[in-house]
């Protein structure tokens, strides 16, 4: 390798100026016996989707996939109860969030979001040349500031990552009604809340709802996300996203999961809800003040999340350490799984906080 290739100055000078403050995603997770850090399905992958992967035939691997996964989007449209031309699939919902921001915001435009919320949105906005207005607010405050930011894209997340809070349905609709640009509602955790904004699509043309197979459906490793919006919105996101983003194998497995694994998924979702209530109660008994969650995780404010998280990791339980969240301070975000895991997590957490 030549000196020029390894010179860090060269990459700084050749790269886009707006990229200089960015770094590649690094969630700082140690491999642990129990991993409650990323909100995936802790029961595993659903059975019929798994056999679709195991018994994939040769053409599935050899041929290019369908450019826009129409077979999958038809099945997803049935799941959501919307027309097939209102659904787009992608390489995780991350792909669709990135593509939608690029399709609806010109470089120099503004994206508005509440704070705290999903951290990747700031990254996708920045790499697409948008600036970010982050409105420090929870539970429906701050709507005027959000709408006043003159944003081409407004991002809402319900249930919100990392707080778990569910946004009020009337509040979401009034934001969609008053917004000048596109409103994205990220419903990565909708199955665990049992509420959705999909019904608003019948009345509003400036709404895009993103969903994923990574959380309730247990297929994060296959990278399948999807989004629903008016046909005109979906066409713009398709242009921005480009073809072949969902592999044939992922498409087969996702179709199998939606068509044949729904009972399995519903059972796990019900178990999450039961364990979430029980875990919340146990945290309260430890003197903690967990935030009421509609997702498959709980956010627990603590004095020093780095210290507590590191101690928990040494004891074999990984949780997500969040520092200095707006309006909350330090906190641990803990995924909800089978009860024996939660029991171990409680023991390790209690010891870590001593």
Q: Return residues touching ligand PLP (CB under 6 A).
A: 92-94, 118, 157, 161, 186, 188, 212, 214, 220, 225
Nearer Cβ to ligand PLP, position 197 or 214? Answer: 214
Answer positive or negative: Cα dihedral of 187, 96, 24, 153.
negative
Whole-number minimum distance, CB 20 to ligand PLP, in Å?
25
Interatomic CA distance for residues 153 and 125, integer angstroms: 9
Maximal C-alpha separation, the chain: 61
Q: Which helix (H) or strand (E) holds 273?
A: helix 262-285
Nearer Cβ to ligand PLP, position 211 or 353? Answer: 211
Which is it for strands 207-212 and 297-301: parallel, antiparallel or unpaired? unpaired
Whole-number minimum distance, CB 192 to ligand PLP, in Å?
11
Nearer Cβ to ligand PLP, position 200 or 220? Answer: 220
Instruction: Report cis status (omega within 30 of 0) of the bond before 116.
Output: yes
The DSSP result for 43-57, as a single string, is T-S-HHHHHHHHT--
Nearer Cβ to ligand PLP, position 186 or 330? Answer: 186
Whole-number minimum distance, CB 347 to ligand PLP, in Å?
27
Nearer Cβ to ligand PLP, position 146 or 250? Answer: 250
Whole-number minimum distance, CB 322 to ligand PLP, in Å?
13
Strand partners, 211: 226
Whole-number minimum distance, CB 104 to ligand PLP, in Å?
17
Whole-number minimum distance, CB 94 to ligand PLP, in Å?
3
DSSP conformation class of 18 = G
Nearer Cβ to ligand PLP, position 224 or 256? Answer: 224
The DSSP result for 186-255, as a single string, is E-TTHHHHT--SGGGGGT-SSEEEEEESSSTT--GGG--EEEEE-HHHHHHHHHHH-S--S-HHHHHHHH
> Could you give the C-alpha distances from 209 to 35, 171, 176, 190, 351, in angstroms and in order?
28, 15, 12, 11, 41
Nearer Cβ to ligand PLP, position 117 or 248? Answer: 117
Closest CB to ligand PLP: residue number: 92
Whole-number minimum distance, CB 295 to ligand PLP, in Å?
8
**Nearest CA among 220, 251, 190 for reference residue 94:** 220
């Amino acid at each position: 390798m030549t000196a020029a290739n390894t010179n860090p100055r060269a990459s700084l000078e050749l790269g886009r100026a707006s990229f200089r403050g960015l770094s590649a995603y690094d969630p700082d997770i140690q491999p642990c016996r129990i991993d409650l850090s990323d909100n995936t399905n802790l029961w595993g992958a659903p059975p019929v989707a798994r056999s679709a992967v195991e018994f994939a035939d040769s053409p599935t691997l050899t041929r290019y996939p369908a450019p826009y996964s129409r077979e999958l989007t038809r099945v997803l449209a049935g799941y959501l109860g919307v027309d097939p031309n209102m659904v787009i699939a992608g390489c995780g919902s991350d792909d669709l969030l990135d593509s939608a921001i690029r399709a609806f915001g010109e470089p120099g435009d503004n994206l508005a979001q509440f704070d705290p919320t999903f951290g990747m949105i700031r990254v996708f906005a920045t790499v697409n040349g948008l600036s970010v207005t982050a409105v420090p607010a929870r539970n429906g405050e701050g709507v005027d500031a959000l709408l006043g930011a003159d944003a081409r894209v407004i991002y809402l997340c319900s249930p919100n990552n990392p707080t778990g809070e569910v946004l009020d349905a009337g509040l979401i609709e009034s934001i969609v009604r008053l917004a000048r640009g596109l409103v994205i509602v990220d419903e990565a955790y909708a199955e665990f809340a049992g509420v959705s904004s999909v019904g608003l699509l019948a009345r509003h043309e400036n709404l895009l709802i993103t969903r994923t197979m990574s959380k309730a459906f247990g297929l994060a490793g296959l990278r399948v996300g999807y989004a629903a919006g008016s046909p005109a919105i979906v066409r713009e996101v398709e242009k921005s996203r480009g073809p072949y983003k969902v592999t044939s194998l992922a498409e087969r497995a996702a179709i199998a999961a939606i068509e044949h694994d729904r009972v399995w998924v519903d059972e796990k979702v019900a178990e999450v809800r039961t364990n979430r209530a029980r875990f919340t109660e146990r945290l309260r008994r430890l003197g903690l003040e967990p935030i009421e969650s509609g997702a498959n995780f709980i956010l627990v404010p603590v004095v020093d999340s780095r210290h507590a998280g590191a101690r928990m990791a040494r004891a074999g339980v990984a949780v997500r350490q969040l520092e200095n969240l707006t309006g909350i301070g330090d906190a641990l975000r803990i995924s909800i799984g089978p009860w024996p895991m939660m029991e171990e997590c409680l023991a390790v957490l209690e010891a870590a906080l001593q």
